[in-house]
Amino acid sequence: MSSYSRINNILGWLVFLIAAIVYGLTLEPTASFWDAGEFIACSYKLLVPHPPGAPFYLLVARIFSMFAGDNVLLVAPLINFLSGLVSAFTVLFLFWSITIMARKMLVGRTAEPTFGQTLLIMGSGAVGALAFTFSDSFWFSAVEAEVYGMSAFFSAFVFWAMLKWEGKAHEVSSDKWLIMIAYMVGLSIGVHLLNLLAIPALAFIYYYRKTTKPTRKGTIYTFLISSLIIVVILWGIIPGLPSLAGSFEVFFINNIGLPFSSGIFIFLALFVGLIVYGFRYSIRHNNRFLNTALLSFVFILIGYSSYMIIPIRSAYDPTIDENDPENIVSFVSYLKREQYGDRPLLYGPQFTAEIIDQEQGDPRYVKGKDKYEIVDYKLEAVYDPKDMSLLPRIYSNQPMHIQEYQKWVPIQQGQKPTMGENLSFMMKYQLGHMYWRYFLWNFVGRDSDVQNAGVLWPTESSQGLPERVADSKARNNFYMLPFLLGILGLIYQIRKDQRDAFIVGLLFFFTGLAIALYLNQPPVEPRERDYTFAGSFFAFSIWIGLGVLGLADLLSKFIKSDVARAAVVTLLCLSVPIIMAAQGWDDHDRSDRYHSVDSAKNLLSSLAPNAIIFTNGDNDTFPLWYAQEVEGFRTDVRVAVLSYLNTDWYIDQMKRRSYKSAPLPISMEIENYRQGTNDYLPFVERPEVKGGMDLKRYLALVKDNHEVLQVAAQNAKPFLSLPTKAFTLDVDKAAVIRHNAVPKDRQGQILDQLSWNIGKSAIEKKHLVILDILATNNWERPVYFSTTTSSSDYLNLQPYFQLEGLAYRIVPVKNPDQEEEGYVEKDIMYNNMMNKFSWRNLDNPNIFYDDSYVSQLPPNTRDKFYRLATAYLQAGDKAKAKEVMERCFTVMPDKSIPYDYYTPQFIEPLNAVGERKKALEIMDVMSKRANKALAYYANDPNSALFDREVQTNFMILQQLVMSARALGLEQKAAELEQTFMKYYGNR
């Protein structure tokens, strides 16, 4: 090994060690929000996550979790560390990729560089790799249990391996590098599909190495072939082969009468036979290229075979089994992500398009007793041709989306967007806001952690900014240094090696702008999506590294010594990642953050034994799954995700036992809720039940598919309807008392009958399930709604809600105060919130709680503290009310969790318990913040993007006005009202 290689290896591993230590120190110690809780739970027990799954990631994460032994609290940090470790390996291969390219530019592939050149090459690798280490988006995904760190690792590895092949292409055994790359591509499919986007860059490395004189024709062919390879893998292999196997299976079982799985084995025999024939042909004709291509294809399939874990594990009916992909038919649907629908890409409808017809599409099969049965047909919407267009970027007709479109382009309701407006939206929002903004976050600076936060330019100050922005730990200013160094590196590489510059440019484009174009994103996203483009930021970091060479070239006139110049330039440029690390540390350090899991446990602790809890998805559910599956916390509770209750596979799972939870009391059979059946039941009034209908009678008619409920449909089978909005449910008082469904002090108020109007013009399958559980349960198990679920799913049952913490329990007692959502059961709620709930580190101002924390869970929790305190006040217990409010502001003080839109309502009860000073402090702090925020947004040209912030501050001012009047502060109320009108009147 040469001295250069030794230095290159040692420094590469040193950079790896730095990255690994950084990610280890800033690692989230438990399951973070969004998908992490689901991935940790599914990895720990090899369960089936949301489509299209990440089976190879799950397998590796499962291995990491085994090091926890019997200590389940170590499972989450170990799986999180997997992301940190593979991210550090990504940095390692980035370092080596940069040094390979830098060496080629300085001395060529084979010549041995001088010490000065070696120092410069190592400096370029270190600067580029460390800049990527501390880049905002990559650092974020490196410290939590997500697939993006491992996906970036595969992209980095195959890019480095192709560069290594380039240096060994003249050797007889060089093809082994190509086969290894193919295998890694196959494995990466089991993590995320982003890795496939590196293929065009790899193809051009191959083309330029094999061709002495590249031509325009050859360049076009290489681009087309590499794009075709992506298409073949993305559609031909991943869903294509299983789809073909599925067609064989259905044909041989349904038409020939063979037993289940026969068609799959016949397909496999034919497929393997074709591959064997191809190998024999390539050997017989001494065709090395064909042989290598076939080997690569086979190794892609071997890597892709990790997907077999999905149907294998699903067949065991695990507790998390999303889409139930246990047979070939459901597995293909899982791979195709059919539940998410499609977005038009090159041609499709505009947002104004109206459906003029529906055509019957492909049949939907389910596995029957002895064959696959057609249960429904996919319906394909037919639009008026005049509403169709090329590149439909403004396509979503959701009312909220239409309003958001208007923030970017001046479209009118009902008026078809022009091609210019579509392109304008694409450039401004889809490319500008959803890609370039993220790019500049990583290499110029980030304004804050507020949703839609902008770019922080070097000259911007914090003067006049809202505190939410100015004091944000995510306000990071890199002074454009990474960006400028990257541009210098790009220019230098174009001057010195146009081919490699083009290759890096392809990687930059396909992993960045091409994704933004392909996703065709609507104008609203639930969170920032910058992590999607980490591959593009990886490519730009190569240019940052090569910028070291460019700066050295500029200084060559002033510093003649190669060694001195390399040392000076390296030290200067190392300041770039150092600045990035210093600026980003406080907002990427998650080492003491626990509330994502604490909030889940708090919700579960709100519930009585053997409860059923209806929740939203994502942050309302995934932490609960983690708590139950990994830590074994409250496994007697059954979590029922409302959006999933619209699917037959999930209802089936709810009817099975899960740990300590018995099956849910659902009386409907599969025929009543199979996909395509009772998905949507519109209100079609029947005069004979206009005044109301017994709920059990209605459900009996639904289960019988009774013709009295049937409504004819065009081009489809008849569907059932909702004949009335008013329902009654008789109450078995003995059962209520026997199961302690109502506290003893309210048992005298138990009703003979529930009577309510659901207030909906149609119900979905999930609502039908809720009604079925309500009717069938007979008060045996406590039934709750999470307080964060949408009131549209409550079915107007609020008069029968009982608040016991972070959940509403349905009880057969009417709330005497119809203005409040749920009767506060003080003793139960007090015990839950004051004794059972956990608030680890929410009071620590040094911990960064980003927008997903500040805007979601704490406000809801503060509101529940307020409800409990006011309930005690109404009961005349000021001491308890004061104690509750003190606990609220102790566990969630303003210094760590800033006052939110629920905080002003505390002013009156604080004053009532003698805490006038605290009440006035809240009023003063919040009025100043609201005034400052509204003043800023009034002059911000992008204020439309921050409607949530603006509306929140208007709401705060309105509450403060009422509170000031309640405290007798008329002058203060007038001032606040004047402030409100000053800004509201100008909107």
Q: What residues have CB less than 8 Å from 712, skipping those under 6 apart?
A: 718
Instruction: Write the pLDDT tens digit of every residue in 786-809.
Output: 999 999 999 999 999 999 999 999
pLDDT for res 164: 95
What pairs with residue 726 in β-bridges? Answer: 757
Does pLDDT of 713 surpass 80?
no
Q: What residues have CB less than 8 Å from 669, skipping those under 6 apart?
A: 703
Does pLDDT of 716 surpass 80?
no
pLDDT for res 676: 85
3-state class of 276 per DSSP?
A: helix
Instruction: Write the pLDDT tens digit of every residue in 573-586.
Output: 999 999 999 999 99
Main-chain phi, psi angles of 346, to 5 degrees? -95, -30
Structural domain contains residue 779:
yes
Q: Kindly report which listed range (274-278, 690-694, 875-879) carries the lowest average pLDDT score.
A: 690-694
Q: Return d(Cα 75, Cα 61) in angstroms, integer.
A: 9
Structural domains of the chain, count: 2
Q: Residue 73, Cβ neighbours under 10 Å: how many?
A: 12
Spatial CA neighbour of 693 closest among 733, 732, 725: 725
* 687 and 768 inside one domain: yes
Cα dist. 250→30, 375, 910 in Å? 44, 14, 69
Phi-psi region of 668 (alpha: psi -120 to 50; beta: other; left: phi over 0): beta
* 767 and 671 inside one domain: yes
* 799 and 845 inside one domain: no
What pairs with residue 355 in β-bridges? Answer: 383
Q: Return d(Cα 783, Cα 778) in angstroms, integer.
A: 11
Q: Return d(Cα 319, Cα 212) in angstroms, integer.
A: 58
Does pLDDT of 955 surpass 90?
yes
Q: Return d(Cα 803, Cα 813) in angstroms, integer.
A: 12
Spatial CA neighbour of 468 closest among 441, 493, 450: 450
Cα separation of the two ends of the chain: 70
* 857 and 750 inside one domain: no
pLDDT confidence tier of residue 889, bands split at 50, 70 and 90: very high
Instruction: Write the pLDDT tens digit of every residue in 333-349.
Output: 999 888 787 888 889 88
Dihedral sign, Cα of residue 26, residue 31, residue 37, residue 43: positive
* 695 and 771 inside one domain: yes
Structural domain contains residue 732:
yes
* 893 and 953 inside one domain: yes
Query: Pick the residue with more confidence: 77 or 399?
Result: 77
* 813 and 845 inside one domain: no
Structural domain contains residue 769:
yes
3-state class of 783 per DSSP?
A: strand
Cα dist. 173→176, 178, 296, 957 in Å? 6, 10, 14, 73
pLDDT for res 381: 83
pLDDT for res 1: 63
Q: Return d(Cα 223, Cα 491) in angstroms, integer.
A: 23
* 924 and 805 inside one domain: no
- The overall average pLDDT reported for the chain is 93
For residue 178 the two structure tokens come to 């190509």
Q: Return d(Cα 467, Cα 539) in angstroms, integer.
A: 35
User: What is the strand order of the sheet 801-803 is part of?
Assistant: 638-641, 612-615, 783-786, 807-810, 801-803, 823-824
Q: Return d(Cα 466, Cα 454) in angstroms, integer.
A: 14
Q: Which residues of 625-655 are buried (b: 16+ CB within 10 A; e: fewer)?
A: bbbbbbbebbbbbbbbbbbbbbbbbbbbbbe
Structural domain contains residue 250:
no
Does pLDDT of 362 surpass 90?
no
Question: Of the residues 800, 824, 848, which one is the last residue of a structural domain?
Answer: 824
pLDDT for res 718: 84
Q: Return d(Cα 431, Cα 292) in angstroms, integer.
A: 38
Instruction: Write the pLDDT tens digit of every residue in 484-504.
Output: 999 999 999 999 999 999 999
Question: Of the residues 777, 795, 824, which one is the last residue of a structural domain?
Answer: 824
Over its C-alpha atoms, the chain yields an Rg (Å, rounded) of 31
Q: Residue 756, Cβ neighbours under 10 Å: how many?
A: 19
C-beta separation of 647 from 339 below 8 A: yes
* 644 and 692 inside one domain: yes
Structural domain contains residue 171:
no
Give the CA angle between residues 810, 814, 817 to the nearest 5°. 110
C-beta separation of 485 from 551 below 8 A: yes
Structural domain contains residue 800:
yes
Q: Return d(Cα 174, Cα 373) in angstroms, integer.
A: 51
Give the CA angle between residues 83, 86, 91 to the nearest 5°. 120
Mean pLDDT for the stretch of residues 149-162: 97
Give the CA angle between residues 949, 953, 957 to the nearest 5°. 175
Does pLDDT of 413 surpass 80?
no
pLDDT for res 215: 92
Q: Return d(Cα 187, Cα 168) in angstroms, integer.
A: 24
Q: Return d(Cα 380, Cα 355) in angstroms, integer.
A: 10
Of the chain, the percentage scoring pLDDT greater than 70 comes to: 99
Kind of pairing, strands 693-694 and 726-730? parallel
3-state class of 359 per DSSP?
A: strand
Length of the chain, please? 987
* 804 and 875 inside one domain: no
Q: Return d(Cα 434, Cα 536) in angstroms, integer.
A: 13
Q: SS3 sequence, 97-121? A: HHHHHHHHHHHCCCCCCCHHHHHHH
Does pLDDT of 430 surpass 90?
yes
Q: Return d(Cα 150, Cα 190) in angstroms, integer.
A: 10
Instruction: Write the pLDDT tens digit of every residue in 363-387.
Output: 888 888 888 888 888 878 888 888 8
Q: Residue 271, Cβ neighbours under 10 Å: how many?
A: 15
pLDDT for res 890: 96
Q: SS3 sequence, 854-907? A: HCCHHHHHHHHHHHHHHHHHHCCCHHHHHHHHHHHHHHCCCCCCCCCCCHHHHH
Does pLDDT of 314 surpass 90?
yes
Mean pLDDT for the stretch of residues 711-726: 84
> For residue 950, what are the domain limits?
839-987
Does pLDDT of 416 surpass 80?
yes
Question: Of the residues 798, 824, 850, which one is the last residue of a structural domain?
Answer: 824
Which of 83-97, 786-800, 846-860, 948-962 ranks highest by mean pLDDT? 83-97
Q: Kindly report which listed range (63-67, 296-300, 522-526, 560-564) carries the lowest average pLDDT score.
A: 522-526
Mean pLDDT for the stretch of residues 350-371: 84
Structural domain contains residue 364:
no
Instruction: Write the pLDDT tens digit of every residue in 903-927.
Output: 999 999 999 999 999 999 999 999 9
pLDDT for res 987: 63
Does pLDDT of 666 surpass 70?
yes
Does pLDDT of 148 surpass 70?
yes
Structural domain contains residue 927:
yes
Main-chain phi, psi angles of 283, to 5 degrees? -75, -40
* 867 and 754 inside one domain: no
pLDDT for res 804: 96
Instruction: Write the pLDDT tens digit of every residue in 434-463.
Output: 999 999 999 999 999 998 999 999 988 888
Q: Return d(Cα 456, Cα 450) in angstroms, integer.
A: 13
Spatial CA neighbour of 977 closest among 949, 953, 957: 957
Q: Return d(Cα 553, Cα 546) in angstroms, integer.
A: 11
* 793 and 645 inside one domain: yes
Spatial CA neighbour of 603 closest among 644, 637, 571, 570: 637
Of the chain, the percentage scoring pLDDT greater than 90 comes to: 77
Give the CA angle between residues 680, 684, 685 to the nearest 5°. 145
